[in-house]
Amino acid sequence: MPIRILQALTKGEVGGTELMVLRLVCGVDRTRFACEISFLDGCGPMTSRFQAEGVPVHDLHGPGGFLGAARRLAALLRRGRFHIVHLYGFRMSLVGRVAARFVSPRPIIVHGIRGLHITEGEETGRLSTRLALAVERLGTPWVDSYIANSHGAASFLTTVGIPAGKFTIIPNGIAPEEWSAPDRPATTPVPTIICVANFRPRKRHQDLLDSLDLLRKQGAQVRCQLVGDGVTRPAIAAHARQQRLNGVVEIMGSRTPHEVRQLLHAADIFVLPSLWEGMPGSVMEAMAAGLPVVGTDVPGTRELVVDGITGYLVPAKNPRRLATQLQRLLADPGLRTRMGEAGRRRIHEHFSLTAMVRRHEEVYTRFVQERL
């Protein structure tokens, strides 16, 4: 009988975690693992993607708030007789832990850590983030294991009291061959910088705009494409207008994976100026496409980008340093090519989708065998 796993997500929107889970459930050996999906806040655009792959989807949205969601999830767990519940997101993890207490036999509870910590809080020192971490610490006994996608996340969470022995590290993975680009021209008339990221405060698009303003004042010829959507998009668009970057910056909105791939193939440099990351899929895709990456020296990104080899790492919230490293790449097409090729090799050797899926299969199997 296959190991039955419920992948319990918070939202059905298109995002890095949701796409990673889609790749995971499509990649596992379905003779050994039977995966289903649930969404805490209701089904969204990702629903059809899972259903198209033959993965059952369950909607936990409804009346009753937290307790109502816990009751609906407990009923699903009883019907589905899942061996493992893999929870993503702070609220989903709390609902899952409570629901599992009312199910017999209780499934194995796994909390998936997809960022620096367990919430989308922008700063670890904020009151809301500190409270969430305190709640997580109190609820740790109800979690059998944490699977983190970066060493940085696991290291941080151990400093706030979560036992190191509960962590397993499984980096994200992609299919590198799907992102490989044709040979790039040695030079382009106006180099293109691209940033693929949801418009959220922690992505710090404004720092990229400020660095572009500095480059323009230095006489650099460059264009920049911002791909994605989100709550800060209007403010970033206003910031670009204020700096008179309309002829330099193009805000492109959301794009399909195929469109993103084409944009990466046509670009010259990839940038991600975030405050923190889990294991950014956009950086992995850019490296697989042969682009040098300029990113912030933060957990997740620093595990992908090798400073001076596959790109450059700069301090967060430092547009001047960002502009300096961008200028080095803009001025040297040969350097861009060498770093891009080094990045492509790194993804092939260390961050393949096959390795990620097989590692999850090994860990899931071990969890169940240890329970027997």
> Which CATH code of 3.30.930.10, 3.40.50.2300, 3.40.50.2000, 3.90.1010.10 fits the domain covering 3-173+352-371?
3.40.50.2000
Write the CB contacts of 316 (distance below 8 Å, at least 6 apart in sequence). Answer: 204, 207, 273, 274, 275, 276, 296, 297, 298
* DSSP E strand stretches across 149-209: 167-169, 192-196
Write the CB contacts of 345 (distance below 8 Å, at least 6 apart in sequence). Answer: none
Per-residue pLDDT averaged across 314-340, rounded?
97
How far is the C-alpha of 241 from the C-alpha of 346, rounded, in Å?
38
Residue 70 near residue 98, CB atoms below 8 Å:
yes
pTM assigned to the model: 0.80
Q: Which two tokens stand for residue 368?
A: 């169940």
Residue 15 has pLDDT above 90, yes or no: no
How far is the C-alpha of 24 from the C-alpha of 172, rounded, in Å?
10
Residue 21 has pLDDT above 60, yes or no: yes
Residue indicated by tokens 């693929």: 196
The predicted pLDDT at position 155 comes to 86
Per-residue pLDDT averaged across 92-113, rounded?
95
Bridge partners (DSSP) listed for residue 5 = 35, 84
Residue 116 has pLDDT above 80, yes or no: no
Residue 327 near residue 215, CB atoms below 8 Å:
yes
In the chain, what percentage of residues exceed pLDDT 90? 78
Phi and psi at residue 195, to the nearest 5°: -130, 120
Q: What is the pLDDT of residues 287-298, one digit of tens each?
A: 999 999 999 999
- Please choose, from the candidates 28, 97, 135, the residue with its C-alpha nearest in 3D space to the C-alpha of residue 357: 28
The predicted pLDDT at position 118 comes to 61
How far is the C-alpha of 320 from the C-alpha of 317, rounded, in Å?
9
pLDDT: is 309 or 129 the higher one?
309
Q: What is the pLDDT of residues 28-64, one digit of tens each?
A: 999 999 999 999 999 999 999 999 999 999 999 999 9
Q: Which two tokens stand for residue 259?
A: 């469109």
In this structure, the number of other CB atoms found within 10 A of the CB of residue 244 comes to 10
Angle ∠(43,45,31) on CA atoms, nearest 5: 75
How much is the mean pLDDT over the chain?
Answer: 92
Residue 120 has pLDDT above 70, yes or no: no
How far is the C-alpha of 47 from the C-alpha of 58, rounded, in Å?
9
Q: Which two tokens stand for residue 349?
A: 């050797």
Residue indicated by tokens 């696991």: 154
Q: Which of 185-199, 243-257, 312-326, 350-364 has the lowest mean pLDDT?
A: 185-199
The predicted pLDDT at position 193 comes to 98
Q: Which two tokens stand for residue 110?
A: 């796994």
Q: What is the pLDDT of residues 194-246, one digit of tens each?
A: 999 999 999 999 999 999 999 999 999 999 999 999 999 999 999 999 999 98
Q: Is 194 left (phi over 0), alpha (psi -120 to 50) or beta?
A: beta
Residue 45 near residue 33, CB atoms below 8 Å:
no
Q: What is the pLDDT of residues 150-192, one digit of tens each?
A: 888 888 889 888 999 999 999 989 999 889 877 666 567 899 9
DSSP 228-294: ---TTHHHHHHHHHHTT-TTTEEEEE---HHHHHHHHHH-SEEEE--S--SS-HHHHHHHHTT--EE
CATH number of 176-350: 3.40.50.2000
The predicted pLDDT at position 276 comes to 83
> Exposed, middle or buried by CB within 10 Å (0-12, 13-18, 19+), for 182?
exposed
Q: Does the CA dihedral 121-123-124-129 come out positive or negative? A: negative
In this structure, the number of other CB atoms found within 10 A of the CB of residue 363 comes to 16
Task: Indicate where the chain has its CATH 3.40.50.2000 domain(s).
Answer: 3-173+352-371, 176-350
The predicted pLDDT at position 316 comes to 96
Residue 119 has pLDDT above 70, yes or no: no
